[in-house]
Chains A and B, each alone.
Chain A
Amino acid sequence: MSDKRPDHLLDDELCWAEGGHASDIALTAIADGELSIVPSEVRAHVDTCLTCSGHVGNAALLSLHAGERLADLAPADRLTAPERRPVPVMAIVVGLAVAFAGALPTLLDAMRSPGELGRAIPILGRGAALLGRRLLDPGGTAGLVLVWGAALLLIGVAIGIMRLAPRKEEVSS
């Protein structure tokens, strides 16, 4: 007699225990809702056997308990990398297309009156040069505000990273 089952089903030798009852492995699979991998005769037995259906409850409680305990863990404690979601390429392409369509009337307007664009560029350039001089002026208020502001921003970001980064704890054996 062969115990070999199709690949999507558990083998007989894993499903039955002594006394004609379902094995712990089959009961755990049923408790986890993996009914499709348990052979139908094992499921039929569990449905009618008080001992086995009691053990299914035990296995379900054990599963619930293990799930709750594992949920307490930080992501950094995991051995296996979590399942990565694929990059939503289609959504990004559609988003870019919509954005381009939205900007199209403005772009067409700008192309129709190139003179206005030509006049705006030197004004913007002069404004940027003035702002640069003010910021780089030694002892100027704007420069000081920029330097101290940047320093405070860096310190803030560093504190944020330290607080948010998961801490790896040493495991004592």
Chain B
Amino acid sequence: MLSALMSTALLAGPAPVSVPEQTAELRPVVRSVVACVLKERPDHADVEDCTNEALRRALESQSELRGPLRPWVLGIARHVALDTIRARQKQRARTAQLQVPEDASSTNLLDRLADPSEGADAKLEQAERARRVRRLLATLPEGPRSALELFHLDGLGYQQIAERLGVPLGTVATWVTRGRRAMAEALEADERGGAR
């Protein structure tokens, strides 16, 4: 059914490019994201299943799309892959439970209860995250910071950013790559420091 949807999308007129067409074009990067989350090779059967599932969900819920398509579809792909990991973990836990005595397995009951405080803390967590991002953005040089803001918040492409900032295309690509990496490393270090 998915392939039928894809081929229908691909047979559509040349312009403008529809959401199903754009979604189909994202297949390679969706597969890479799923493979990365699952820590499997891109040609693994689970990766292919998750990729199909992510694209199916994206096509079915395209009416919910608010904002740029790419991060939205990749977010769905990540979600599907994480669901698969959780399903695998549950399966492993069930298998393990079958092998241990009944009284020992009942001690895990508390672990399985949902944490009711999660929703209440969400806003505080978001504010804390924003404060951390603000702090580390202040440590980035102006170029990478501007490039990241223009790409992620304004949705500009590399070429448009280069024109806007008056720098060569390669500089923008370097700023985006290094800025993002620096941001990830700083956030990771910050979280490690906070956990201590």
Q: Which residues of A does B touch, CB under 8 Å? A: 7-11, 14, 24-25, 28-34, 37, 47, 50, 53-54, 56-58, 60-74, 77-80, 82-83, 169, 171-173
Query: Could you give 18 example pairs across A and B, Cβ below 8 Å?
Result: A9-B169, A14-B174, A32-B151, A32-B158, A34-B158, A37-B158, A37-B173, A50-B41, A50-B42, A50-B43, A54-B35, A57-B35, A60-B74, A63-B180, A70-B133, A71-B152, A77-B134, A173-B138
| B156 with A54: CB separation less than 8 A | no
Binding site for A on B (CB under 8 A): 26, 28-29, 31-37, 41-43, 70-71, 74-75, 78, 126, 129-131, 133-135, 137-138, 142, 145-146, 148-154, 156-159, 168-170, 173-174, 176-177, 180-181, 183-184, 187
A11 to B172 CA separation, bound complex (whole angstroms): 12
* A24, B34: Cα distance in complex, Å: 19
The complex places the Cα of A77 from the Cα of B26 at a distance, in Å, of 32
Interface of B is mostly: helix
User: Is the beta-carbon distance between B180 and A66 smaller than 8 angstroms?
Assistant: yes
Measured CA separation A33–B32 after assembly (Å): 13
From A61, A69, A173, contact of B183 by CB (8 A)? A69
Contact call B180/A10, Cβ cutoff below 8 A: no
B33→A73 contact, CB < 8 A: no
Query: Chain B residues with Cβ under 8 A from A34's Cβ?
Result: 157-158, 173
Q: Give the chain B neighbours of A60 by CB distance below 8 A.
A: 29, 32-33, 36, 74
Q: Which of chain A's residues has its CB closest to B162's CB? A: A7
Complex CA–CA separation, A8 to B137 (angstroms)? 28
Cα-based distance from A68 to B138 in the complex (angstroms): 18
- State whether A53 touches B28 (Cβ < 8 A): yes
Contact between chains at A28 and B180 (CB < 8 Å)? yes
Q: Which residues of A contact B26 (CB under 8 A)?
A: 33
Report the minimum CB–CB distance from A52 to chain B (whole Å).
9
Contact A28 B173 (CB under 8 A): yes
